[in-house]
């Protein structure tokens, strides 16, 4: 894996001719940035723009990695749904990307990553026999298998129960160390725990939000975590589109 770059994002995005948002931000190298805001403000659109996907609108601006390499080839993506293929085994789901590209998968690496996410004993099971949290672990291992320096996460833990969500937050923070991570979330508590940088989107604007002085991953019940979470929630409740 190449050294993780930062990402400079600056411009305006319009949908059906109307301004949805404008932003001039940098996603710091090897740190977690959490994007928050009410539904419809453009959080997932920013991820799609970073990925180079079609968004149905127009973007006027610049998106550039600080290492000057093409960004699209440096990104892996993890969605809210695990998107596992039910007819493949857990292990096969990890290295499916290499197969689709016509390459020879590194099965030893896939097994190692399964161990890292706590699924070594389930390599040959089908995903349908596993819990939602375990399927998200498969998705995380698959993301790691791609070995890209930039990782985009679109609410990957929001469908999980509270205990499993907390465990997955901690696991992701551990295994994604050294990568530039952009996490879209609706959960102020998740951002308060994980973020080195918090960006709040509302009413077409994007603003930086102060994070606690302590280093992520922060304890759920730490006073600075609770204070950050509460202030973020108050702000989001008052925000209007």
pLDDT tens sequence across 4-32: 999 999 999 999 999 999 999 999 999 99
3-state secondary structure of 213: coil
Q: Tell me the two tokens of residue 187.
A: 């959960």
CA 138 to chain CA mean position, Å = 15
Give residue limits of the domains in the chain.
7-238
What are the start-end ranges of the E strands in 102-160? Answer: 150-154
Pairing relationship of beta strands 150-154 and 180-184 according to DSSP bridges: parallel
Per DSSP, the chain holds a count of helices (H) and strands (E) of 8, 9
pLDDT digits (tens, 9 = 90+) for 53-112: 999 999 999 999 999 999 988 999 998 888 899 999 999 999 999 898 888 999 999 999
pTM over 0.85: yes
**Inter-axis angle of helices 107-116 and 132-145, to 10 degrees?**
130
87 — phi, psi (to 5°)? -85, -5
User: Once rounded to an integer, what is the mean pLDDT over residues 158-170?
Assistant: 87
| pLDDT the model gives residue 210 | 96
CA 18 to chain CA mean position, Å = 27
For domain 7-238, give the CATH number. Answer: 3.40.50.300
Residues 6+ apart with CB under 8 A from 73: none
Ranges of H-type helices in 35-106: 43-51, 90-94, 96-100
3-state secondary structure of 106: coil
Query: Confidence band (pLDDT; 50, 70, 90) for 238?
Result: confident
What average pLDDT is seen over the chain?
A: 92
Residues 6+ apart with CB under 8 A from 217: 169, 170, 173, 193, 194
CA 208 to chain CA mean position, Å = 18
Cβ atoms of 138 and 94 closer than 8 Å: yes
pLDDT digits (tens, 9 = 90+) for 171-230: 899 999 999 999 999 999 999 999 999 999 987 789 999 999 999 999 999 999 999 999
């Amino acid at each position: 894996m190449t050294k993780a770059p930062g990402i400079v994002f600056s411009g305006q995005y319009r949908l059906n001719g109307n301004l949805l948002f404008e932003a001039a931000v940098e996603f710091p190298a090897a740190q977690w940035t959490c994007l928050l805001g009410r539904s419809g403000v453009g959080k997932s659109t920013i991820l799609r723009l970073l990925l180079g996907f079609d968004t149905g609108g127009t973007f006027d601006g610049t998106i550039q990695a600080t290492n000057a390499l093409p960004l699209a080839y440096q990104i892996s993506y993890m969605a809210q749904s695990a998107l596992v293929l039910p007819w493949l085994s857990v292990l096969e789901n990890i290295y499916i990307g290499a197969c689709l590209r016509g390459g020879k998968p590194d099965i030893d690496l896939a097994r190692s990553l399964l161990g890292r996410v706590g699924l070594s004993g389930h390599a040959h099971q089908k995903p349908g026999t596993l819990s939602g949290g375990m399927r998200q672990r498969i998705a995380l291992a698959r993301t790691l298998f791609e070995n890209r320096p930039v990782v985009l996460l679109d609410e990957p833990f929001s469908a999980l129960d509270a205990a499993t969500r907390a465990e997955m937050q901690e696991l992701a923070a551990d295994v994604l160390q050294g990568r530039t991570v952009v996490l879209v979330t609706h959960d102020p508590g998740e951002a308060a725990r994980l973020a080195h940088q918090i960006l709040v989107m509302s009413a077409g604007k994007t603003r930086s939000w102060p994070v606690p002085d302590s280093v992520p991953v922060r304890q759920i019940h730490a006073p600075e975590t609770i204070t950050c979470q509460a202030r973020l929630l108050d702000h989001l409740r008052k925000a209007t589109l």
